[in-house]
């Protein structure tokens, strides 16, 4: 009984595969600080709960494949607030940003096609590339260069006749990098020159710090037919379990393909669409204190990590992650050891080994990703425990 090649080869979640060790620590009564995944502790705003509790239909029935019109309109209005004029026609609601990635990749690429993605990248691109039998061509960035996008020539060198798209994730998970207009324009120019799609994963759009703003690839109107943006409410409104996202595009062929994909899975969940609508209706002021909160957390984390000798990192400009190079050999071994062997006052910390965020073998083996998703006080304590664990580990495994 042989299963499919894709079923065999698809990567196990590098973040989730260490979960059993954390579960075991919890079972032993240890407190684990989870800064391995992007699950914020920010409360889901009350309007979402109210929308769910006030839903008063008798049958929880199918909605439209493309999502409810009022929610699509609310999402379009949200982009208009950023001076990106869109209509509801440009928005198709998906089951989380995850499904938006799947639909976007499938709409532009066939079996054997290639998509260029800077690495380290969000690991779930791997899963959807495997589903779609599409090859991810990594464009390797490095912590020493602050994960900046390389020159246009370096990107161009990755383009082959099989290339269908360049995917840029900004603000970036896992690096926290926010691409500058100059960096984005390298990709924009290449998309024009080589007739490519430009896919933007911009789900962390609100989380840009130090007074900077996020530039969306949707703002490059001269390539508007080439642009597909992946969106999600998971982080924006701290409701990861709602599974509501969107594919945003002004290309009618892509839009129609995504609609047909959407029809095949019938519809996104009804209740969470009602919740999402009420969240968008809160208005843009909601984001200011949230952004400030994350910026404080980032500062606490960056300052705390700065006291550790031998590490290499760059200050994240956005999202809520940082990639840190550690003075160790094997970060997966370290992360596991922290969960199985290290305790400080009966506490430990779970971070994510970074290797799974790279597709080039051997890359990221001495790096970890840390998510600053805990409040300042917990974050401070988590860094203390992390530092103590790292010190101990280096004496045991020098």
Q: Which of residues 265-304 bind its own copies (CB under 8 A)?
A: 265-272, 275
- Sole binder of its own copies in the list 20, 26, 28, 43 (CB under 8 A): 43
- Rounded to a whole number of angstroms, the minimum distance from the CB of residue 132 to its own copies is 7
49-86 as b/e: b if 16+ CB within 10 A: eebeeeeeeeeeeebbbbbbeebbbbbbebbeebebeb
Residue 225 is encoded by which pair of tokens? Answer: 């037919």
Of 124 and 180, nearer to its own copies (C-beta) is: 124
Q: Which of 44, 73, 180, 340 binds its own copies (CB under 8 A)?
A: 44
Q: Is 263 in the site for its own copies (CB under 8 A)?
A: yes
Give the footprint of its own copies on residues 18-37 (CB under 8 A): 37
Q: How far is the CB of 37 from its own copies (least distance, A)?
A: 7
Rounded Cα–Cα distance for residues 336 and 339 (Å): 5
Q: Segment near its own copies (CB under 8 A), from 60-68, 171-179, 309-317, 382-390? A: 60-68
What minimum distance in Å lies between the beta carbon of 328 and its own copies?
Answer: 26
Are the CB atoms for 267 and 63 separated by under 8 Å? yes
Contact (CB, 8 A) for 266 and 62: yes
Q: How far apart are CA 357 and CA 64, in angstroms?
A: 35
Is-contact 232 246, C-beta < 8 A? yes
Q: Does 238 bind its own copies (CB under 8 A)?
A: yes
Of 60 and 157, the one with the shorter C-beta distance to its own copies is 60
Residue 23 has a CB neighbour count (10 Å cut-off) of 12
Q: Of the candidates 132, 208, 203, which has an alpha carbon nearest to the alpha carbon of residue 165?
A: 132
Among 30, 77, 84, 124, binds its own copies (CB under 8 A): 124
- Give the Cα separation of 207 and 186 in Å (integer): 23
What 3-state class would DSSP assign to 62? coil
Nearest to 178 by CA among 152, 154, 211: 211
Site for its own copies in 185-224 (CB under 8 A): 195, 197
Q: Measured from the CB of residue 305, what is the shortest distance to its own copies in angstroms?
A: 25
Indicate the residue among 242 and 324 with the shorter CB distance to its own copies: 242
1 is a site residue for its own copies (CB under 8 A): yes
Least CB distance from residue 205 to its own copies, whole Å?
A: 19
Q: Which stretch binds its own copies (CB under 8 A): 209-217, 237-245, 293-301, 321-329?
A: 237-245
**297, 356 Cβ separation under 8 angstroms:** no
Q: Is residue 174 a contact point for its own copies (CB under 8 A)?
A: no
CB contact set of 18 (below 8 Å; sequence gap of 6+): 36, 332, 335, 336, 339, 350, 353
- CB under 8 A: which stretch of 149-157, 181-189, 254-262, 281-289 binds its own copies? 254-262
Alpha helical stretches, state H, the chain:
5-9, 19-27, 46-53, 69-81, 96-108, 124-132, 152-156, 181-194, 252-264, 270-280, 287-306, 331-340, 376-396
- Nearer Cβ to its own copies (141/275): 275
- How many residues line the site for its own copies (CB under 8 A)? 80
CB contact at 8 A, 374 and 297: yes
Judged by CB under 8 A, the stretch of 180-188, 251-259, 291-299, 321-329 that binds its own copies is 251-259
Helix (H, G, I), strand (E, B) or coil at 15: coil
- Pick the piece of the chain touching its own copies (CB under 8 A) from 149-157, 236-244, 346-354, 382-390: 236-244
**Is there binding between residue 254 and its own copies (CB under 8 A)?**
yes
Residue selected from 7, 29, 361, 362 as contacting its own copies according to rule CB under 8 A? 7
378 vs 171: CA distance, rounded Å? 24
Question: Residue 124 or 140: which CB sits closer to its own copies?
Answer: 124
| Selected binder of its own copies within 18, 32, 108, 247 (CB under 8 A) | 108
Using rule CB under 8 A, residue 240 touches its own copies? yes
Site for its own copies in 314-373 (CB under 8 A): none
User: Rounded to the nearest whole angstrom, what is the least distance from the CB of residue 146 to its own copies in the complex?
Assistant: 28
Q: Is residue 3 close enough to count as binding its own copies by CB under 8 A?
A: yes
Options 31, 39, 159, 304; binder of its own copies; rule CB under 8 A? 39
């Amino acid at each position: 009984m042989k299963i499919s090649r894709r079923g065999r080869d698809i990567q196990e979640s590098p973040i989730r595969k260490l979960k059993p060790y954390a579960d075991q620590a919890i079972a032993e009564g240890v407190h684990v600080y989870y800064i391995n995944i992007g699950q914020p502790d920010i409360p889901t705003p009350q309007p979402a709960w109210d929308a769910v509790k006030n839903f008063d239909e008798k049958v929880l029935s199918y909605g439209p494949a493309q999502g409810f019109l009022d929610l699509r309109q609310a999402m379009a209005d949200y982009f208009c607030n950023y001076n990106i004029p869109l209509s509801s026609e440009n928005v198709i609601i998906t089951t989380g940003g995850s499904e938006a990635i799947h639909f976007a990749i499938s709409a532009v690429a066939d079996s054997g096609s290639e998509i260029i993605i800077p690495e380290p990248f969000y690991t779930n691109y791997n899963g959807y590339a495997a589903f779609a039998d599409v090859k991810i061509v990594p464009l390797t960035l490095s912590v020493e260069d602050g994960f900046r996008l390389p020159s246009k020539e370096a990107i161009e060198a990755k383009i082959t006749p099989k290339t269908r798209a360049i995917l840029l994730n900004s603000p970036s998970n896992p690096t926290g990098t926010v691409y500058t207009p100059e960096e984005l324009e390298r990709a924009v120019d290449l998309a024009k020159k080589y007739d490519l799609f430009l896919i933007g994963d911009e789900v962390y759009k609100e989380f840009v710090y130090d007074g900077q703003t996020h530039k969306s690839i949707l703002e490059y109107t001269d390539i508007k037919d080439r642009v597909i943006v992946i969106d999600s409410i998971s982080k924006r409104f701290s409701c990861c379990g709602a599974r509501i996202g969107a594919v945003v595009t002004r290309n009618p062929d892509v839009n129609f393909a995504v609609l047909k994909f959407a029809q095949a899975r019938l519809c996104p969940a009804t209740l969470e669409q009602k919740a999402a609508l009420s969240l968008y209706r809160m208005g843009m002021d909601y984001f200011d204190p949230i952004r400030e909160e994350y910026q404080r957390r980032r500062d606490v984390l960056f300052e705390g990590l700065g006291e550790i000798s031998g590490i290499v990192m760059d200050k994240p400009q956005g999202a809520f992650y940082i990639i840190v190079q550690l003075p160790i050999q094997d970060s997966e071994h370290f992360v596991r050891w922290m969960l199985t062997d290290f305790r400080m006052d009966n506490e430990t910390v779970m971070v994510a080994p970074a290797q799974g965020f790279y597709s080039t073998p051997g890359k990221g083996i001495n790096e970890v990703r840390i998510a600053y998703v805990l409040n300042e006080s917990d974050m401070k304590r988590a860094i203390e425990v992390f530092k103590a664990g790292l010190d101990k580990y280096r004496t045991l495994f020098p």
